[in-house]
Structure 1
Amino acid sequence: MADLLLKWLSVEANPEVMTKLARQLGLVSGWEFKDVLGLDGHVLADEPISACGLLFVYPSKYEGHRLAQGSAEDPQGLLFVKYPSRGAGATLALIHTLANADVTLDPGSSLDRFLCAAKALTPSERGSLLETDKDIQAAHETCAKQGQSQPLEVGKDSDLHYIAFVSARGKLWELDGCKGAPLAHGPTSEATLVKDASHVCRDIISQQPDDIRFSAVALCKN
């Protein structure tokens, strides 16, 4: 990761900011991000959340543990983008969610144009394309200046890493631009996605249960 270019401000992982960024990229109304306040199985059983995607944020120092886990499967038509730049993680995870979940984008929106251009490219080529997309980068930087925390300066390394989980063709897929391909984690549906993804998230949290920098937001119908 050290050789990645540092060009993008970091975006705060709160539902209001992520919803605004999604709308600026082209997500139609009717969807919004919501905080997942507990990833404990008992909590989710009591208050189930129906969602088409989940963004999970965790400290970057656990990436080594994550990179050693799992095996890539045939993505079966999923659109996957290799990590372009440190700081772009929130937008990349959001793109992975919106591109692969069962949602609608405004035709001609910035993300719709990017996805059309990216379809025939390799994951690495898509990362390079994203890095030069001025419209997406402008939306990213506008939202990076919102939220409750002060954004890092361009070129400053964030200590948080974003991954996306989506339900596609009956499977739970993890999309992490630092990995070589999407990972499949077994069967799921929109009704059980948050609960199913929570098993993966809790494994990450177990590496340092006293660390408070873990968070998750789910893309839900409003």
Structure 2
Amino acid sequence: MSLNWIPLESNPDVLNSFIENLGVTTDWKFVDVYGFDDESIQFIPSPTVVSIILLYPLSEVEDGIPVGDSSPVTDKDVYFMKQTIGNACGAMAILHAVANNTNTVTFTEDSSLKKFIDKTKDLSPYDKADLLVNSTEINNTHHDCAQTGQTVAPDPTSHVDCHFIALVQVNGVLYEMDGRKQGPVAHGPSSADTFVSDAIKVCRKYVDKNPQCLRFTAVALCKDPF
């Protein structure tokens, strides 16, 4: 990966600034997921959640025991993009979260993100990635938002030891979207009604591979509950 971005902080304010500046209407927000236990997930506004983004620590344990196998995209409604930009996994997760829910998430009239999704939806995963590299607006928005977190923004070339993935439901199937893989990972049947509980089960599988680690965090993309 010759191009590197400043990594995004797993902070709803940062992620919301990113999507708002790219033209997602302000009634759609990322909110914290406070835990993966049954009690904590009661606080997730389930009826309107369309994606859960998980941040997990990269390690030999995480990479050595995959939660599932990736496969070529067979459903034309599934939007999948390869990650070819270093430290861009946060942006990739956001793009996958939004692009696989354009029938639900709403956009401003001149949304640059919606234009990008429409322009790239029928392209191959690598061709999508090429257009992302050349998208000045998304590049600039990411650069600005990556410097607004609560911690000092690292150098773009810094090694990052955590990774974002997005979980979405498309046409009754739960998918894990990870731009490092060759395709989406299908985790079985799901629905709008069961999506949150289904997605949390996948998150728990990641936690169970490294139960002593406390560095797992997640956010949910939903219609603003407030």
TM normalised by structure 1 equals 0.90
List runs of 5+ in structure 2 lacking aligned partners: none
What is the CA distance between 1:41 and its match in structure 2?
A: 3.2
Distance 1:207 1:63, change over 3 A: closer
Instruction: Report the alpha carbon displacement of residue 106 of structure 1 after superposing the two structures with TM.
Output: 2.4
State the distance in 1 between where 2:7 and 2:182 align.
23
Deviation at 1:71, TM superposition (A): 4.4
Q: What is the aligned partner in structure 2 of residue 204 from structure 1?
A: 206
Listed as ranges, the gaps of 5+ residues in structure 1 are: none
* Residue aligning to 1:175: 177
Matched, 1:23 2:11: no
Instruction: Verify the 8 A CA contact 2:77 2:170 in the aligned structure 1.
Output: no
Matched, 1:41 2:43: no
Q: Which residue pairs with 1:97 in the alignment?
A: 97
Pick closer, same or farther for the CA change 1:64–1:85 going to 2, 3 Å.
Answer: same
Listed one character per residue, the Cα deviations across residues 25-70 of structure 1 (whole Å, up to 9, x for unaligned) are: 21112111110001113532x4453111111101122552365733
RMSD value, Cα: 1.9
Q: Is the counterpart of residue 56 in structure 1 residue 58 in structure 2? A: no
Q: Quote the Cα distance in structure 2 between the aligned partners of 1:191 and 1:213.
A: 28
Which of 93, 111, 114 aligns to 2:113? It is 111
Residues 1:135 and 2:137 aligned together: yes
Residue in structure 2 matched with residue 217 of structure 1 by the alignment: 219
| TM-score normalized with structure 2 length | 0.88
Matched residue of 1:206: which SS?
Answer: helix
Deviates more, 1:193-202 or 1:61-70: 61-70
Mapping of residues 138-149 of structure 1, within 5 Å: 138-149=140-151
Correspondence for 2:69: 70
Q: Is the 8 A contact 1:6 1:157 kept in 2?
A: no
SS at match of 1:94: helix
2:6 is aligned with 1:9: yes
Letter in 2 for 1:56: L
Aligned length: 218
